[in-house]
A and B are shown apart, each in its own frame.
Chain A
Amino acid sequence: MHIDFSDELQAFRREVGEFLDAAPTAAIREAGKKTTSVFAPFKEVMEWHRILHAKGWSAPAWPVEHGGTGWSVEQRYIFAEEHWKRDLPPLLPNGLQMVGPLIMELGTEEQKRRYLPGILSGEDYWTQGYSEPNAGSDLASLACSAVSDGDDYVINGQKIWTTLAHEANRMFMLVRTSREARKQAGITFLLLDRMDYPGMVVRPIVGLDGLVEQCEVFFDNVRVPKSGRVGAENDGWSVAKQLLKHERGGTALSPMLRRKMTLIQQAVRSAPSPNGGVLADDPVFQRDLGEIEAELVSYEAYERMILTNHPIGSDPGMPSLNKIMSTELTQQLGALQVRVAGLWAVPSQVNALTVASGIDPIGDMFDLTAMPFYLNARATSIYAGTNEIQRDLLARTLHAA
């Protein structure tokens, strides 16, 4: 057993650090500091995506043949750590981590040729059309229908929780193509090459944090080409399950959480304690902080087990374990940040949080981001399969073993 701290890796760390120090614009830096979600401010993060792509670093986890970096697990960790250390906006996951790997695995050669370059370069942003008002945890009961008509499907219905759909130029979605067999057997997976098909309407939804991240999308006789179908008609459920794997694992989340913890640990040295003095010296706070620090290290350790293909990380319960652990920790850190920000978490500051608003925050950047991060993180235990569903799935793997 060992962890590598070799000179080569230190040199790599320096190389990464020098680029990340020099490459981002001021707006990109500001967007990174104001990121309070998995989804960074759109315009700036896509600009950053294109800069990283020009350097060849936009997709560290992709295979080299598709434009990946060919980095080792250690190098990918170091890149993520250095990226987060500078509070740079994380590239949006939908293309790079979700639909991109899915197209690589299950797409036609034509789909790969057509879509992978735009995902890699940051020209395209894909929104995910899965959930519907009556199909959340019970996703297979989705009703948005696609009826075959020659070379096209005609879509009618509604999608919700389509993240940043108002900014997207493409969409991947699940549609109902049959109601005859069991509900899972009548679903088809589609890639939409545009968001402006006649009959498509996007309605942004304001979240608890006052920001627009989610949307609804309405389909009224929307005609889309069948060439966007991935897998066979009515086989979309197995395609989607393949994608869930990408959604729930395979990337390093812990460097983000570690950065959040570091910011908290810096803040507590001057944050007032309700008992007088600063929180850093408050024994009760130290104990509580210790618990979350311990949980974070345990998650960092588990993530390393996954990335090194250790038997602990290859367990069939891994996707659920990883999802539950990472999201619960995100929420714990959010709650801790709000506790540390104290009174300064209370002012509503949507305007100051907007990139390039020129509005100074009440308090500092830590205070400004505390409540939006906490509120946004409520969604983490709900999206991508609620944590209750994850516990069901996890328990099932125990009995199968």
Chain B
Amino acid sequence: MDFTFTEEQVMLRDAMSRLLGQHYDFDQRQQIVHSSAGRSERVWRQFRDMGLLHAPFPEAVGGFGGKASDLVLLAELLGEHLVVEPYLPSILLTGRALARVDGHAGALGWLERLMEGSALGALAHEEGHGTADITRIATELIPTDDGLLLNGEKRLVLGGTDADVLLVTARLPDGALAMLLVDPTLRGVGMECYSTIDGRRAANIRFENVRLAPDALIQSNADKAIQDIVHDALLALSAEAVGAMAALLTASVQYAGTRKQFGVPISSFQAIAHRLADMKLAYVKARSTLFYTAALIESGRAEPRDYSLLKAQAGRLGRAIAESAVQIHGGVGTTDEVSVGHHLKRILAIEAMFGPSEYHLRLVGASSVSAASAAPRREAMEA
């Protein structure tokens, strides 16, 4: 059993942590959020120069690794620093999906551009159920004589606003799922753009009789590929939530130790002390689960329920920590001016995406019942 990062991973994490410490403190982050682009080209270049845009990909496609622990390492820091750059949609979701596609020149070309930082991608997958269940996909892709016809609507497409390419999931007439690449400027693509509560840009995207060339289809029979994307998303979002929890715990311990009421630090009150203890318990549970799940994935032993369990714990424990952090900060915690409320909003957004905790908990419960071996019971009563 080994749940530690390698030396190389620790070096990467330290470098990224230093970069974010210098260029992504809370005030700098707020400036970026309130800028017209809502993201920073400069930071993206720094990410590229540090190799972060290559880091989560297998060596076969020019990356540095792409193991589960790489995703965990990167996403934890993104969460801790409230990073709004489109790393999740463009690199982790779109990029890693493209890296799994076999022998499609267009897909590999886009992947190279994403890794170079010369283009941005977005995953157009969610349709409004707020679920990890890929069988809900209703967007239709119909082969025609000269190409393909796309119809449907995608919701909360992160980074969709300024993506150069959309990775779209859709259903073929035979019921199988497909992945395709769509140019967002094509006729029939309608975009409703907005900012999210957690400082990101996103879009609802409508596809109305969008005509596509045949090579837009990068993978048919893509059920497994799309499931893999969802699993990546669950892992990365959970790791982000855990990173946010670390920041929330640190901020709350510090605040409670310095804020005085009745002439003493509020941390000296048992009600506050126990709240902090509960936050630490929640954090340790969530982070242990995160590393344990990453180790299961890297040992080839992860089942869908393991991802669900992680997402559920990250969501519910994260929310508990974030709400406690706001409470401990008192009035100031309810303002836009300190980071804790922003971490809370990020965790709430994570909760909403790819299935909330309650959804995943039910999956975990149902799967644990069907996995348990059957044993006759209450024979005494029936006899």
Contact = CB atoms under 8 A, between A and B. Distances in A.
A197 B51 CA distance: 73
A55 interface: no
B299 interface: yes
A74 B299 CA distance: 15
A360 B366 CA distance: 32
B299 A395 contact: no
A106 to B, nearest CB: 29
A265 B373 CA distance: 9
Contacts of B267: 395, 399
Contacts of A14: none
Contacts of B379: 364
B253 interface: yes
A262 interface: yes
Interface stretch (B15-23, B151-159, B214-222, B356-364): B356-364
A321 B296 contact: no
A360 B3 contact: no
A268 B376 CA distance: 11
B270 interface: yes
A218 interface: no
Contact of A267 (B280, B281, B370, B377): B377
B313 A286 contact: no
Interface in A306-345: 307-308, 310-313, 315, 317, 320-321, 324-325, 344
A1 B294 contact: yes
Contacts of A367: 378
A305 B380 contact: no
Contacts of B376: 270
A300 B292 contact: yes
Contact of B291 (A290, A305, A398): A305
Given A298-B289, A301-B291, A270 B377 contact: yes
Contact of A363 (B289, B313, B363, B378): B378
A55 B2 CA distance: 30
Contacts of B299: 2-5
Nearest to A313: B288
A280 interface: yes
Interface in A190-210: none
Given A1-B68, A364-B377, A312 B364 contact: no
B376 to A, nearest CB: 8
B291 A312 contact: yes
A352 B5 CA distance: 52
B291 A310 contact: yes
Contact of B276 (A280, A388, A395): A395
B375 A2 contact: no
A1 B278 contact: no
Interface string A348-366: 0000000000001111101
Nearest to B312: A294
A287 interface: yes
Given A3-B296, A364-B380, A290 B368 contact: yes
A113 interface: no
B69 interface: yes
B313 A398 contact: no
A1 B69 contact: yes
- For B277, B278, B285, the residue with the greatest tally of chain A CB atoms inside 10 Å of its CB is B277
A295 interface: yes
Interface of A: 1-5, 73-74, 261-262, 265-271, 280, 283, 285-291, 293-295, 297-302, 304-305, 307-308, 310-313, 315, 317, 320-321, 324-325, 344, 360-364, 366-367, 388, 390-392, 394-396, 398-399, 401
13 contacts: A1-B5, A4-B299, A286-B365, A286-B366, A302-B288, A304-B292, A305-B288, A325-B281, A325-B284, A364-B377, A392-B274, A394-B277, A395-B276
Given A297-B289, A399-B267, 14 more contacts: A1-B2, A1-B295, A4-B299, A266-B372, A268-B369, A286-B366, A298-B285, A300-B292, A301-B289, A305-B288, A307-B1, A317-B280, A324-B281, A395-B274
